[in-house]
Amino acid sequence: MIIKSLELENIRSYEKARIDFPLGTMLFEGDVGSGKSTILLAIEFALFGLGNQKGASLLRVGAKEGSVTLKFEVDGQEYEVHRSLIRRGRGVQQGDDGYVKTSQGVKNLSPSELKQEILDILKFNEPPNPKAQSVIYRYAIYTPQEEMKAILWARPDQRLQTLRKAFRIEDYRIATDNATNLAKAINKKINFLRGQASDLEEKKKSIEEKENAVKENQKLLEKYRQEEKELKEKLENVKKELSELQEDEKKLNAAKTKVPLLTKQIEEKNKQIESLNSQIDELNQEIASELQPEIEKLSKIEKPTDKTVEALKHDLNELKEKLKKLRELETTIDAKIKDYQSIEENGVCPTCDRPADPQEFQTKINEKMEEKEKASQLVHKCEEEIKQQEELLEKINEYNKAQEKLKTLQTLLEKNRERAEKAGKDVEELVKSRNILQKQLDAAIAECKKLEGVSERIDGLNKTFDEIQKQLKHFVVKITQAETNIRNLEENINSLREEIRKKEEQKKLSEKLNEYHIWIKDYFIPTLDSIEKHVMVTINQEFNTHFQKWFSLLVEDPGKSARIDEDFTPIIEQDGYEQPVEFLSGGEKTSVALAYRLALNSIVQKVSVGMKSNMLILDEPTDGFSKEQLYKVREILNELQCPQIVIVSHERELESFADHIFKVEKSQGVSNIEIAPET
């Protein structure tokens, strides 16, 4: 894998940045906390996702979204991978807009699908667990220096477990553990199956006993069925005779039922006839004493005028209008008289204030008094006419009401006559119906006398029927019990046969499983242990060779030597005496870690399918090195012959053997990268 470029947006201390990665050795240089390690974390996030780290550790503080876009090359084919981070509530999660771009196009993938795609591209044979880091990447390409030291200081069993994953041989241990667990499970299953089949002979003996019991019950069943048959024949004869008598009883009951019913119907007919006759008398009485006298009285009322009510009302309104105008005239004349009387008394005209002749106005007053007299007479006459008109209107209204009442009484008279006539016809029909019912009643009484004694004979047969039926039920119960016993026994026999079949199968299976258990425990597991030990010994020897080679280059002390023991623990000797690693100087500890790192890198790249040694990332690899050791790093890098090496360090001395230098600086919480000019 060769990295081509990296784009960051809101990733830790970076707001927005793009880095182009050339071939050769690159040095990312800057102070502690300037943002160098963020570049390495961003590369790993782009390829494999968050792994076991929190999204909040990558997303810039205060930012809602962030992203990483990485371009890289594998076997001459260029790829682009993109991942994003989104802040949701208090947490940070990967976005759903991840993709991989190839020459064939863009694939939009979920975070877990994206990791699987990258593993396929890199040919890393490891599970695509989205919450786990890539072991091959961590030990073949990039291992943080502190993580490498943690491996060195870990307990031997923990270190071996980690290295098994890195060397891709943990499958041997997993297979051994799985085989051991399988052997235990098989042994447990064998014991269970043997326990299940332990009562096999008892089950077979039980079948024989139940088969004999079936034969005995079958004999009883045949006897019970013969007795049941004889009782059924007796019962059938009784039922036949009883059926004939029951028909006669039905006739008797029908006749008995008819007598009170017909008697009641006749009584009801008589009551209806009596009621209708009473109703006819009441109607005739009402016609003679009430309706006809009132009709005759109303018929004698004469009409007061030929005019209609509307015409009379119209004439009355005209008279009232005329009276109104006459009274207005009378009021006008009276007002004029008062004006003239005022002039006569004062001798002055109220309009022009000139003197007036009282004699002249006396004449006018007399004239107006005559006019007033005439007007008053007309008013009186009009009032008399109005009174007469109102009386006439009242009489015509009374006449009209009398005519309406007359019509109502005439209608009621007609209805009463019709009701009386209908009631008379109903009485005739009821008399006919009563006579028919009387004939039916006489016939029913005669039928009852004829069928006397049937009930006693039926009661006797019913007792016989009940006794036979009781005996029959007794045998039905016995037959049912026998059939149930036979059925239960046969079901038990079938169940036992099925159990015996299963137990025989379980017995055979336990014998087969015992063979598997012997093979796994005595052959397979020892073989796996032997293969793992052989592989680990081979890897240990090669690992030790690489470790000693890199250690000797980094530490030029002829009295100091290093080797790897069988647990892959680094053993340091000073003049033939073992020296604990924790007592080494800082530079020596870093040398041990770097040598271990490079040896591990070489082995992992060799055992990993598809992994090529074309890229290496070193994070602070020279912490505590002397100047002489720093120069040794150049020799190591030259010997590695890796096409692309990324070094992250705050050591300026590494600038001399870096092909490309990137200056990382942080200002006001924001990191920036500048490419130093090549010398």
Cβ contact 186:516 at 8 Å: yes
Question: What is the model's pLDDT at position 287?
Answer: 76
Question: What is the model's pLDDT at position 288?
Answer: 78
Relative orientation angle of helices 156-167 and 170-196, to the nearest 10 degrees? 100
Mean pLDDT over 176-185 rounds to 89
Question: What is the model's pLDDT at position 613?
Answer: 55
Ranges 213-217, 461-465, 625-629: which has the least confidence: 625-629
Ranges 353-357, 574-578, 659-663: which has the least confidence: 353-357
Give the largest CA-CA distance in the chain.
178
Does 163 fall in a domain?
A: yes
Question: What is the model's pLDDT at position 168?
Answer: 66
Say whether pLDDT at 247 is over 90: no
More reliable by pLDDT, 530 or 200: 530
Does 612 fall in a domain?
A: yes
Question: What is the model's pLDDT at position 356?
Answer: 67
Mean pLDDT over 649-671 rounds to 88
Provide the pLDDT confidence category of residue 614 given band limits of 50, 70 and 90: confident
* Rounded-to-integer distance, Cα 472 and Cα 97, Å: 85
Does 164 fall in a domain?
A: yes
Provide the pLDDT confidence category of residue 264 given band limits of 50, 70 and 90: confident
What rounded mean pLDDT belongs to the chain? 83
Distance between start and end Cα atoms, the chain: 28
Cβ contact 269:509 at 8 Å: no
- Of 160-164, 168-172, 215-219, give the range with the top mean pLDDT: 215-219
Radius of gyration, CA atoms only, the chain: 65
Residue position matching structure tokens 């299940």:
196
- Of 16-25, 254-263, 555-564, 625-634, give the range with the top mean pLDDT: 16-25
Write phi, then psi, for 578 (nearest 5 degrees). Answer: -70, 140
Question: What is the model's pLDDT at position 261?
Answer: 86
**Which residue type does 76 have?**
G
- Of 179-188, 276-285, 392-401, give the range with the top mean pLDDT: 179-188
Does 94 fall in a domain?
A: yes
Say whether pLDDT at 358 is over 80: no
* Rounded-to-integer distance, Cα 570 and Cα 590, Å: 13
Cβ contact 46:3 at 8 Å: no
* Rounded-to-integer distance, Cα 110 and Cα 94, Å: 9
pLDDT in tens, 120-134: 888 876 777 777 776
Question: What is the model's pLDDT at position 18?
Answer: 95
* Rounded-to-integer distance, Cα 341 and Cα 285, Å: 79
More reliable by pLDDT, 119 or 446: 119
- Cα distances (angstroms) measured from residue 209 to each of 4, 215, 497, 504: 87, 10, 13, 20
Question: What is the model's pLDDT at position 149?
Answer: 66
Does 37 fall in a domain?
A: yes
Question: What is the model's pLDDT at position 672?
Answer: 94
Instruction: Characterise 120 by phi-psi region: left (phi > 0), alpha (psi -120 to 50), beta (else).
Output: alpha
The CATH number that applies at residue 137 is 3.40.50.300
Relative orientation angle of helices 627-640 and 586-607, to the nearest 10 degrees? 10
Does 504 fall in a domain?
A: no
Provide the pLDDT confidence category of residue 79 given band limits of 50, 70 and 90: very high
Say whether pLDDT at 612 is over 70: no
Say whether pLDDT at 136 is over 70: no
Say whether pLDDT at 5 is over 90: yes
Q: Sort 336 into a burial class: Cβ within 10 Å, 0-12 / 13-18 / 19+.
A: middle
Provide the pLDDT confidence category of residue 254 given band limits of 50, 70 and 90: confident
Question: What is the model's pLDDT at position 580?
Answer: 80
Looking at residue 618, what DSSP letter applies? Answer: E
Using a CB cutoff of 8 Å and minimum separation of 24, what contacts does 460-467 make? 461/238, 461/241, 461/242, 461/245, 462/242, 464/238, 465/235, 465/238, 465/239, 465/242
Does 533 fall in a domain?
A: no
Mean pLDDT over 299-323 rounds to 83
Does 369 fall in a domain?
A: no
Structural domain containing residue 93: 2-168+555-675
Provide the pLDDT confidence category of residue 611 given band limits of 50, 70 and 90: low
- Number of structural domains found in the chain: 1
